[in-house]
Each structure stands twice: as structure tokens, then as C-alpha cells.
Structure 1
Amino acid sequence: MHKIGIDLGGTKIEGILLDEKYNTIQRKRIETHQENGYDSIVKSIISLINELKAKTGEETSVGICTPGVTDTNSGLIKNSNTHCLIGMPLKNDIEKALGSQIVMENDANCFALAESLLGSAKGYDVVFGVIMGTGVGGGIVINGTLHKGRTNIAGEWGHHTLHPNGNECYCGKQGCVETYISGPALEKRWLEITGKKEPLQSIVPMASASAQWEEEFLENFGTSLANVIDILDPDVIVLGGGVSNIPFLYDEGKKAVYDKVFSDSIATPILKNSLGDSAGVFGACLLNS
């Protein structure tokens, strides 16, 4: 059976058609245009799936990677930073339009699955996959299988409380990890400290010009991931998302994590992803493996 994977992002929707051996037959990206609303996104996804299906005469499965998770009771999307999806029956609407069943998982779970089976974490038993981009999320893979938890929120470290009564988060709480170490949060903090509005790619080479910015970032990164290790003790952590491209996370950042872990012996590998922004779309395909 051929596999179709769809990665729904805040700015782009990527689709891929793979054969049984995961060779790419067709691949395409289109803009999300979330400003046009939920119905527009659904139509774009359906159109892309049908276009990919037309490239093969084989039967196909469909997996979709989304921001946020599907509530196991209501079937509605929750915890999404693409706000127009929240409270909407995305999986049901796509299945209704296609006339067939699909598998849907959040972007962090798809990232973790792809990196554990095809990427940097291949060969490790317990994998914690981290997304640090527009938002902060995580996924857990144990022996090649996603661990989603009883209510489908396992791995959501981006919304554990880092600073009580801290920064306000779109989720309605305060002090979430996401509000401190996501890309937009880091850019906002740079503006507050330096008075300069810069994209993260420009800030990183200048980080030494603001010791405060880098120290705060490392402190928050270290505490956040150390908490994960204390609870899960994974065999490996793989970093993904735009923030994962910051070089000092793999030396100074790792040290900041190790310094806070509840153990006098810590050797958890903290690795950069190897699939880049393709992890989501490959992970979507792997949901049907």
C-alpha cells in the first residue's frame, strides 16, 4: 500500500506520496493561508490529498500531522497554536470529504515517530522528541510505538509550568515553557532587553552581546528538559523546530540540562534532528505502518 502524509503547519501544508519502501513518488507544498479560516484549510488539505492520490494507481493510506491534538472524547482539536483549528472536528471533516478513514496525530508526535524510526534516534528504545519552533511540544516513542497517554497529551512539556505567575500563554495558563523558549518568545525577550526587533536567526550570532538573554534562555531550557528527564528518563532526546538550529544548545545547553537533573550520573544524548522540516510529513506516513 502506498502512503500519503500531510503536514499541516502554520504557514505551509506539505504533502508526500511514498511507496511501500518509503521512496518518494510525489511531494508538494502549498501555503496554509490560515487567515482565510478553517474551511479554507480543510479544502486545501482535501485538494492536496486528491492530487497525490491521482499520482498512483495503488491503494493509499492517509496520515495527517497537525498542530494541537484531537480530544479523545469530543473528536475536536484542542491545544493548537493555529487558533482557527481549536474546537473543530478536523479529522471527521476530512474523513467525510474523502469517504475513507485517516489517522491524525499532532506535529510533535509525528516528529518523534519519524526521528525514532528513520532519523537521529533510530536504534534507541525510549525517545523523547522535542519541537521548539513557533510553539513548544514533545512526543514519546517507546520501542517504535507512540506513547500518547490516557488523554492523548503525553509529552506536552511545552505547557508545564516553568514560572508560576509568569508569562501569559494562549492556553489560558501562566508561565508555560512555550512562553519562554519558543521562537517568538525568544524574539520578544530580545526586544525587551535590547530594544531591537530581530528574527531569531539574526539574534543567535549576536547572543554574546546580551549575556542576560543567553543566560535566561539556557536557564529555562535546562530546567525544562531536566524536568522531563527526571520524570521519563529517556534513552535519547532529539531536538526539532527552528530553535533546534541554535548551535550552543548541544554544548552549553546540554550542560544546563545535566546540571539540573536529579542524578549524579547523567548521560542522556541530546541530539539534533536529521530529517529537518521533513520529519512531520514522514511521521504522518508512518502513522499507518
Structure 2
Amino acid sequence: MNRIGIDLGGTKTEGVLLDEQYNILDRRRVPTSGTYDGVLDGIAGLVEGLDPGESTVGVCTPGSLSPSTGLIRNSNTRYLSGRPLKGDLEGLLGRPITMENDANCFALAEARMGAGRGYGTVFGVIMGTGVGGGLVVDGIIRGGRNGIAGEWGHHILHRDGRECYCGEKGCVEMYISGPALERRWAELTGRSEPLKEIMGGVHGSVKWRHEFMDNFGAGLANVIDILDPDVIVLGGGVSNVPLLYSEGRDAVYKRVFSDIVDTPILRNELGDSSGVIGACLL
């Protein structure tokens, strides 16, 4: 049976159709609507366009489904929160779908088909507009009892730190997401620049660089202390920062509660396709 995967992103929604050997048969993209009803129509249109037949359908979303209510929660796309996205899509499409958050889909794709192949316990990290994570053990997503396994972006890194949209203060996401890094750069230098340009002149702000590496190191060291995964795979726009695989790795290792630390911290292999491929694999 063929598989349809849908990746609901902040600016674009992508769909792919895979055959049973995971060959891509079709790929389509549409702009993501700024309204809930528009999102429903966009996803339904992609699915029908890719295959109106019997293919399985997996959807990758920002935020996660509450196991108690079936509603979207913890989404930084605010108009999705509290909505029955899965149920509404199933009603529109007239067939069942599987839904997971974007970090879990990323982790699944990289564990089965990307940088995490061959490792038993894979922790997939998303560092982009937000910070999230997914845990895959022996090729299966482990969501945990409450469905929040991997949410390291909302560990408290600095008590009474920066306010987060989740209602807490000092979350990891408020320090090492792309927007957070750009805001901090502007605070220190007075210049508003995208992260890619900042990295080109990062030596001009030793304080910014030190804070970034220190926060990244503390955040991921906590993950290793708790889970001790076989590999960590980084994804999202911030994962393209080369420092993470040298200085960043060292900053992680020096904080881990062990005399020997050799956890591989790897760049993803599937790039922007990880979410939509992960959705297919659901």
C-alpha cells in the first residue's frame, strides 16, 4: 500500500506519496493558511491531489495531540491549539489518519532512513523557530505516558529567565531557538540580522557565542543524563550552525555526569524532507 505524508509547517504545507519501497511517486507544496479552516482545506486538497484512493495518511504537525482530549496542545502555531485537527481532517477526508508532532516525525525519519540508522535509541532534536525533540527506540516512537517524551525545549534552563509562550520562564527554547538567538544578538550588538549572517561574523561577539554554546551544552547534557541515547541527531535551521558539532559538542560533553562521554551528535541527513518522510512512516 502506498503512503501519504503531510508536513504542516508555518509557511508551507508539503505532501508526498511513497510506494511500498519508499520511492517518491509525487510531491506537492502549498502555502500554509493563516487560519484553522484554511489549514484543513489545504491538507485535504493535498491528500486528494496525491491519491484519492486507499493510501495511508500520516500528518506531521507543530504541537501534539492530547491523549485525553484529542485536541492539539503545546503548538507555537497558536490557532491550532485546542482544536480537534485529527478528527476534523478525518471527517473531511472520510478515512483515518495518523498524526504526530514534527519532532517525533523528524526523529522517526532519521532513525529509520537518515543519520540515526543502525542505532537503537535515537533522540531527534529540532532547533528552528522552536526547540523540540522526539525519542525513537528500535524504530518506534516512544511518546511516553503523557505523550510529551522528548520535549526538552521546555526544560527550565534559567529559573526566572525569559518568558515563554508556554507560561513558564527560562525554557531552553527561549535561548537557543533561531528567533531567540537573533533577539539576543540584537540586544548585544544593536543589529537585527538573520542567524545565517550572524554566524558569518560571530567572532565579533564572544559573549553571544559563549552564551549560545553554554546554553546548548547545558540543555543537551540534561537529555543525555536522563536518557543516555545511542545517538543525537540535530535538525531545523539552527542545526546548520557548524559550531554545534565541535564547540557545541564539547560544551555538552563537559556537563554530562560521566567520566566517559562519546554520544554521537550528528547533523541530519534528510534535511527539509525529514518531517514529511516521517509522516509517511507513521
Task: Calculate the TM-score normalised by the size of structure 2.
Answer: 0.99
Give the drift of 1:33: 2.7
2:42 aligned residue: 44
Q: 1:114 aligns with which of 92, 109, 113?
A: 109
* 1:24-173 pair list within 5 angstroms: 24-34=24-34, 37-54=35-52, 59-173=54-168
Residue correspondence of structure 1 range 248-267 to structure 2 within 5 A: 248-267=243-262
Alignment of 1:124-273 (within 5 A): 124-273=119-268
Name the SS for the 2:27 alignment partner.
strand
- The alpha-carbon deviation at position 104 of structure 1 amounts to 0.1
| Alpha-carbon distance in 1 for matches of 2:23, 2:105 | 18
One-letter amino acid of the structure 1 residue matched with residue 57 of structure 2: V
For 1:225, what is the secondary structure of its paired residue?
helix
Q: Kindly state the Cα deviation for residue 66 of structure 1 after the two structures are TM-superposed.
A: 0.2
Is contact 2:33-2:42 (8 Å) kept? no
Paired residue total: 282
In the alignment, the residues of structure 1 paired with residue 201 and residue 36 of structure 2 have an alpha-carbon distance, to the nearest angstrom, of: 39
Deviations 1:223-255 (A, max 9, x none): 000000000000000000000000010000000
Q: 4+ residue runs of structure 1 moved beyond 3 angstroms?
A: none
How far apart in 2 are the matches of 1:19 and 1:42?
25
> Could you tell me which residue of structure 2 aligns to residue 16 of structure 1?
16
Shift of 1:30: 1.1
Opposite residue 48 of structure 1, the aligned amino acid is: L
Q: Could you give the per-residue CA deviations for residues 143-170 of structure 1, whole angstroms, max 9, x where no partner exists? A: 1111000111000000010001000001
> Is the partner of 1:265 in helix, strand or coil?
coil
Q: Quick one: which amino acid aligns to residue 243 of structure 2?
A: F
Q: Look up the match of 2:7.
A: 7
Structure 2, unpaired ranges of 5+: none
- C-alpha deviation, 1:59, in angstroms: 2.5
Taking only the aligned residue pairs, the percentage that are identical comes to 62
Q: TM-score, normalised by structure 1?
A: 0.97
Q: Using the alignment, how far apart are the partners of 2:41 and 2:33 within structure 1?
A: 11
Q: Distance in 1 between matches of 2:250 and 2:230?
A: 17
SS of match in other structure, 1:219: helix
The one-letter code sitting in structure 2 at the alignment partner of 1:6 is I
Distance 1:153 1:49 in 2: 27
Structure 1: any 5+ residue segments left out of the alignment? Answer: none
SS in 2 for 1:44: helix
Cα distance in 2 between the residues matched to 1:68 and 1:103? 14
Residue identity opposite 1:10 in structure 2: G
Question: Per-residue displacement from partner, 1:61-87 (whole Å, max 9, x unpaired)?
Answer: 000000000001111000001111000
